Amino acid sequence: MIDYRPVHREPTPERYGRLRVCAGDLGPAGWLVQAPGAFGTVAGVAAPGFAAYARVLHPAELDERPVRWGAVAAAYGREVAPLTDWHEVIGADRDYHNASEYGLPGVWDEHPTEGPTPPAVAEVLVPLLARHTGTPEQCWFGLWSGYGTWDFDGVPTFPTPGREEVLLAGPLADVVSPGELEHFAELPDLWWPQDRAWCVAGDVDLVSTYVCGTPELIADVLASPDLEAYPVSPDDRVG
C-alpha cells in the first residue's frame, strides 16, 4: 500500500551565517565550471589562469595557540619547502603512522586543521584581499555540499574537480560569519570577487589554503607576518 502522507523536509536554508544561499542562478560560478584545473593540482583546487599563486599553511597548535610548520620542522631537524606535506614535517607516512598522535612536548600538540580556511587565517586574509579587488562588497563563495552542519538537500550545486559546491553570495568580510554563528560550521571552500581579481580555495582533505591573483596580491600574502605562506605554481600537486 502506498503511503500518501506528506514527507517532512527541513526548509531550504536562505543564509549560511550572513552569506546568502543561491538557490537559483549559478551563473557566477560558470567560469570555474567551464575551465577547471586538473584534479589534485593547485589550479584544480583553486582556479587556473592567474598570474601568481601562494600556499598558506594552516598552523598546528600548542595549548590552543598557533604554531608554524617551520617551528615544528626545526624541532625535528627538518625544513619546510613550498610543497612539503605535514606528515613529512613530523616524520610520518601519509596515514600518520610512525608518529605520535600527541605531538612533541613543548612544540605542538594538535595537527593543523584539515578542511577549508580556518577562521583565524581567514581574518588575516580578508583585509589583504580587499585591497586587491574593486568589488569587496560583492563576492561569491563555494561551499562543499557534503559538510554535515547544514542540510542543503534540494539546493542546486556546481561542480569542481572532485566536489559539488553550493553557491553563496555576500561581502568579503562576511566569509567568517558562519563560524561566528555556528561553532562547527566550516567556512566556504572557494571565495572570489565579482571582478574575479583573485580566488581563494581550500578543501575538506587539505591542511593548506591556496590563493591566486596578481603578483602584487601574492607578494602581500607571502610578506604577511601573520601567515606562513609559500609561492607555488598552478600545476603543483596538493598534499
pLDDT, one tens digit per residue, over 56-88 is 999 999 999 999 999 999 999 999 999 999 999
- What pLDDT is recorded for position 11? 46
Question: Span 141-160, mean pLDDT?
Answer: 88
Q: Is the pLDDT of residue 93 over 90?
A: no
Q: Is the pLDDT of residue 12 over 70?
A: no
- What pLDDT is recorded for position 202? 96
- What pLDDT is recorded for position 154? 86
User: For the chain, which residues make up each domain, given as ranges?
Assistant: 18-58+113-232, 59-111
Per-residue confidence at 181, pLDDT binned at 50, 70, 90? low
Q: What is the 3-state secondary structure (H, E, C) of the chain?
A: CCCCCCCCCCCCCCEECCEEECCCCCHHHHHHHHCCCCCCEHHHHCCCCCCEEEEEECCEEECCEEECHHHHHHHCCCCCCCCCCHHHHCCCCCCCCCCCCCCECCCECECCCCECCCHHHHHHHHHHHHCCCCCCCCEEEEEECCCCCCCCCCCCEEEECCEEEEEEEECHHHHHHHHHHCCCCCCCCEEEECCCCCEEECECCCCEEEEEECHHHHHHHHHCCCCCEEEECCCCECC
- What pLDDT is recorded for position 2? 41
Question: Span 78-101, mean pLDDT?
Answer: 85
